[in-house]
Structure 1
Amino acid sequence: MMFKDIHIGKLIVRKVRESGIEMPRIMNFLKKTEAEILAMYDSPDLETGILLRWSKLLEYDFFRLYSQHLILYAPPSGADKKKNASRNTEESGLPVFRKNIYTQQIISFILEQIQTGKKTPNQVIQEYKIPKTTLYKWISKNK
């Protein structure tokens, strides 16, 4: 699965088909008409409240797709981490996340990129901002 371009409607349709949930149940749970639900299937993005309800109905964390996108395509730079960590704790009531969490799916995706020759380890390090030691640990564990 590529995390770069997320079309959430298409992913929801796939999960609905896999789960076998019927349209009347979906309409009742989301309190939407069939036309509104079909429009969601065509939508590349949805409001967070609706996405949360889909996640509950289908028992799948659709938000994780966006988290993985952020880990791969928008990691904070080293200077930004230090600057924002001190500022965020003083100015914001929001939690500050100290580490990126790489799921097994992300690790598999990155290792597949290297194994198939699509990317070199150096390209992965530069593009995704994954620490060199972390990447080489993944490679040695998955040989």
Structure 2
Amino acid sequence: MLYKNIHIGKYIKEMVENKNISLERICNFLGKDEDFVENVYESQSIDSDILLRWSKLLEFDFFRLYSSHLILYAPPSAVNKSEKKSETTPQFRKNIYTQEIKDFILSRIESGEMTQADVIKEYSIPKSTLHRWIQKKR
């Protein structure tokens, strides 16, 4: 699964088809009509409340797609040492890698699509972390 360009409607439709959930059940659960459901399938993004309901219906965390995108594609933070960190602003930590992220990166290396150096450069993953993942996979 590619996390760079997320078309959430496509992923939702795919999950509905995989789970064989009827349109009637979806409409009843969401409290919406068939046109709304079709519009969701075509939408690249949807409201977070609606996405939460889809996640519950399909028993899948669609928000994880966005978290994975942040882990892989968020630019490394350029923290100025002289600046004081805000205690009230939440800090995003890039060092939380899910198993899906690890599998995604390792599959790109194994397929020859990327080298280890490419992965380290593009995703800002520490060299030691990447080597640890490779060792555990063997």
- Same topology, TM > 0.5: yes
Q: Kindly tell me: are residues 130 and 30 of structure 1, through their superposed partners in 2, closer, same or farther at Cα, counting changes over 3 Å? A: same
The answer as to 2:25 corresponding to 1:25 is yes
Map 1:1-143; keep pairs closer than 5 Å: 1-77=1-77, 79-80=78-79, 86-89=84-87, 92=88, 95-98=90-93, 100-143=95-138
Q: How far off is 1:97 after superposition?
A: 4.6
The structural deviation recorded for 1:81 is 8.7
Give me the identity figure in percent: 54
Matched pairs, number: 138
**Distance in 2 separating the partners of 1:68 and 1:102:** 8
User: What is the one-letter code of the residue matched to 1:88?
Assistant: S
**How many angstroms apart in 2 are the aligned matches of 1:64 and 1:41?**
18
CA gap of 1:110–1:17, structure 2 versus 1, over 3 A, is same
What are the superposed Cα offsets for residues 54-99 of structure 1, whole Å, 9 maximum, x if unpaired?
A: 001111000000000010011433x339788x5231xx2x543545
Unmatched segments (≥5 aa) in structure 1: none
2:71 touches 2:94 (CA, 8 Å); kept in 1?
no
Q: Which whole-Å CA distance do the structure 1 matches of 2:108 and 2:65 have between them?
A: 18
Q: Which structure is higher in helix share?
A: 1
Stretches of structure 2 lacking an aligned partner (at least 5 in a row) = none
Distance verdict in 2 for CA 1:117–1:60, change over 3 Å: same
**3-state SS of 1:87 partner:** coil
